[in-house]
Amino acid sequence: MDRQAELRRVLEGPLPGEVSEQFLLRFTFTADDPRSVIALARDALATVLGPGPVWPDLAQWRERLPERFVAACAPERSPDDAEAGRATTPQEQHPATTAWVLSGWLAWFDPEALGESRGWQWWDAGLAGPAGAWVDVRIGAHPFPSGALEWLLRASGARDIDS
């Protein structure tokens, strides 16, 4: 994945005439303020795509990411929870109806963890009326793990997400 090209598209959108060589999939959603949802999602995603040469620790991420996004995340699990046999994988921790822990979401962007298997890249986003919006993502295959994208949108204020 070309993180720098994705970061550029997050911040500026695709270049005029730029065409994806991979399949684009559109996610639609509703929100009270869809413009602010897109802005917050872009801000959070731009932050994790451009962390610098060293991947920050969780405390540093809490300082760097938008406060509203961090506040939407579930509390981190204690080591006792993991030892008691509770869910330990990002997919098990985060069914579609519950909040993700920040560390679980970040793992999908960490180049040393799941970052290379995320399966999608931001392509573009826009408004669809006063209470709707869309995000296009570039995917290499379908199905793909879309949970990190869906949590990004939900934590940013999106509802009724559909692809």
Predicted confidence at residue 84, as pLDDT, reads: 42
Predicted confidence at residue 81, as pLDDT, reads: 56
One digit per residue, the tens of pLDDT, for the chain of length 163 reads: 688 999 999 999 999 999 988 899 999 999 999 999 999 999 999 999 987 778 999 999 999 999 999 999 999 987 665 444 444 445 444 455 589 999 999 999 998 876 677 889 999 999 998 999 999 999 988 888 999 999 999 999 999 999 8
Pick from 31, 45, 5, 9: nearest CA to 136: 9
Return all residues near 37 (Cβ < 8 A) that are at least 6 apart.
29, 31, 133, 153, 156, 157, 158
Predicted confidence at residue 38, as pLDDT, reads: 98
Rounded to 10 deg, the angle between the 3-12 and 34-49 helix axes is 150
Predicted confidence at residue 153, as pLDDT, reads: 97
Pick from 41, 30, 33, 61: nearest CA to 123: 41
Contact 146, 120 (CB under 8 A): yes
Kindly report the length of the chain: 163
CA distance 129 to 145: 28
First-to-last CA distance in the chain? 22
Predicted confidence at residue 51, as pLDDT, reads: 74
For residue 147, with 0-12 CB atoms within 10 Å meaning exposed, 13-18 middle and 19 or more buried, which class applies? buried
Q: Which amino acid is at 58?
A: L
Backbone angles phi, psi at 74, to 5 degrees: -70, 155
**pTM for the full predicted model:** 0.86
Predicted confidence at residue 96, as pLDDT, reads: 54
Other C-beta atoms closer than 10 Å to the C-beta of 27 total 19
